[in-house]
Amino acid sequence: PRVFSEEWWELWNWFSAECGRKGLGAGLDDYTVGWVGNGFYPDELDSMSVFKGYRGELEIKTDVVRSGAQYVTELPEHLLAVVVWPGKIELTNRAVNGKITWTAPETGHSEYKIYTVSTKPGYVIHPAHGEKLTEVYFDRFESKMDAAGRKGMNYFFQDELSYPIHMLSWSDDFRQEFQKRKGYDIIPYLPALTDDIGNITAKIRLDYCEVLMDLSEERYYKPVYNWHADRGLIYGCDNLSRGKDPVAYIDYFRAMSWFTAPGNDAPSRGSSFLETKVSSSIAHLYKRPRTWLEAFHSMGWGSSGAWLTRQIDHHFMAGGNLVCMHGLYYSTHGGWWEWAPPDFHFRMPYWPHMKQWLKYTERMSYLLSQGTHVCDIALMYPTEAMQACFEATPDSAFNLANRLSNSGLDYDFMDFRSLREAELADGMMKIADEQYRIMILADMKAMHYSSLQKILDFYRSGGIVLATGDLPAASNRKGAQDPKVDKIVRELFGVSSGELRQGKQTGKQTNRKGGIGW
């Protein structure tokens, strides 16, 4: 029967109850039913009156005017601001009959950029988003299932989350919320979201991303997480980029921290080691009990027992402790049309041995779910640098992560919020159940000022701080060209970011005990 029809609920309730009687856990993967346009609850959510007329996205139009030239523009209907950079010249209040006319100064700069900022419909950070999602999706399992059916169901799985938050997301109350949390008006600085407006750019982008994530947590992730936590249910995930894009969902690390079993898919060829390392790091730092692996998509007919074992061991070594095989199609025809067809089941010649293999994965998952993870190294996940700097990439961090792993060294990725809340003692950095002796920054061109301060305190307490690539040159304190940032970096490494770049250009090299050589 069609998913969520009355016949389907009857079948699902029976199936889940039977699982409960047999000691099995049942759950639902929202793949395809969780996407707008497929006729399920996201479309119901999309049509709710509470979201109608809400302005949830920014649109920024850019025009260039040479000095001394006159500029005339017609204003869009949902205007937020018209701002000129350099100079932060606000033109919004000069509007007459829906137009702005402005003459660029003849001195100061050869050209000016005029940014017209308006809003578009959207409700990604509407205050009721998470509450309404819970109402149309999760709550229905409680209302449609009886006690026996609910006893068998112990998880939900979020697959490729369709939550379109991005660098231009907005809300009707974002300006007020930003002012309250950051102490200044974001409106004249919004052009920094799409363009470099000078030294302050990194500060604006870091502040904006932090407030945007704060609101998305409060209004979307937290209500959904609490629904599961209050009922003792596992909430697993495999979401877009699988950790390889730190700014997916604006801040992948923080977004995925709201799942009780953060996780990832695994490819049919190659390894998901790095993706699982990101997932397990989130689980360690946010005290989530499980790290999920959805194994293995797009296998087709080419799997073997040896390959499955090699890949599942990569998962366990990377900190995984929950395995969900990707799919079983009872119909051979089903394996033809499905776009990511796995097959490691009854059709395979190694099927008689799979019971023993599955016992192995069960045993390893249990063992690795006990006790506390221990490692010495924290590697900064490069979210901050990528949020702040247009040119930043995660390549240095991930290349270094692979080098550490290939050298037999264990580590956790770390996000700035965990670092901010860390406790320091005796040369150790303590976060959740973890303790680190070494902090590594890989090409962290920009960081939150609180991150730099905490790293400096860690260094002063006897911790080891290492860096590769560019050193921090900007923060959310003032942006770039900040003497206080340079002072911290110089104490840590004996050289500021600017001096490092100059040294590279001249070929000069410096080593500092306890710091960095380049």
Give the full edge-to-edge strand order of the sheet including 322-325. 263-265, 292-295, 322-325
Q: What is the pLDDT of residues 273-300, one digit of tens each?
A: 999 999 999 999 999 999 999 988 887 7
Contact 325, 318 (CB under 8 A): no
Each residue of 356-381: pLDDT tens digit? Answer: 999 999 999 999 999 999 999 999 99
Identity of the amino acid at 143 = S
Render pLDDT for 406-432 as a digit per residue (tens, 0 to 9): 999 999 999 999 999 999 999 999 999
Averaged pLDDT, 236-263: 96
Backbone φ, ψ for residue 219 (5° rounding):
-100, -20
For residue 418, the Cα-to-chain-centroid distance in whole angstroms is 14
Greater confidence, 128 or 344? 128
Mean pLDDT of 488-507: 84
256, 282 contact by CB (below 8 A)? yes
Number of Cβ within a 10 Å radius of residue 357: 16
* Structure-derived torsion over alpha carbons of residues 356, 361, 364, 367, reported in degrees to the nearest 10: -100
Contact 235, 224 (CB under 8 A): yes
Distance CA(105)–CA(290), nearest Å, equals 60
Q: Is the pLDDT of residue 172 over 60?
A: yes
Distances in whole angstroms, Cα of residue 117 to Cα of each of 57, 91, 114: 10, 11, 10
pLDDT band at residue 516 using 50, 70 and 90 as cut-offs: very low
Whether 116 and 63 have beta carbons less than 8 Å apart is answered as: yes
Q: What is the CA 352 to chain-centroid distance, rounded? A: 40
pLDDT of residue 450: 97
Q: Quote the pLDDT of residue 505.
A: 62
pLDDT at 197 exceeding the cut of 90: yes
Query: Number of C-alpha atoms within 13 angstroms, CB side, residue 270?
Result: 9
**In the block, residue with structure tokens 């937290």:** 222
Q: Which of 146-150, 177-181, 347-351, 416-420 comes out lowest in average pLDDT?
A: 347-351
DSSP state of 417: H
Main-chain phi, psi angles of 128, to 5 degrees:
-100, 5
Residue 347: strand, helix, or coil:
coil
Instruction: Supply the pLDDT for residue 318.
Output: 96
Of 219-223, 313-317, 444-448, least confident by mean pLDDT is: 313-317
Rounded CA-CA distance 27/141 in Å is 11
Q: How many CA atoms lie within 13 A of 465 on its CB side?
A: 26
Q: What Å distances lie between residue 205 and 27, 285, 321, 419, CA to CA?
A: 39, 25, 36, 19
The Cα 395–Cα 485 span in angstroms is: 24
| Amino acid at the residue 431 | I
pLDDT higher than 80, residue 388? yes
One-letter amino acid at 34 equals G
pLDDT at 398: 97
User: How wide is the angle at C-alpha 25 spanned by C-alphas 23 and 26, nearest 5°?
Assistant: 130
Q: Considering the chain, what percentage of its residues have pLDDT values greater than 90? A: 83
Q: What is the predicted pLDDT for the residue at 366?
A: 96
Least confidently predicted of 109-123, 186-200, 483-497, 499-513: 499-513
Q: Buried (b) or exposed (e) across 435-452, using 16+ Cβ within 10 A? A: bbbbbbbbbbbbbbbbbb
* Token reading at 82: 């018209």
- Write down the pTM of the prediction: 0.94
Which residue from 280, 290, 289 is spatially nearest to 242, judged by alpha carbons?
280
Kindly report the CA angle at 444 between 170 and 417, in degrees rounded to 5? 55
How far is residue 201's CA from residue 478's CA, in Å, rounded to a whole number? 9
Report d(CA 338, CA 32) in Å as an integer. Answer: 12
Question: Which tens digit of pLDDT belongs to each residue from 90-99?
Answer: 999 998 989 9
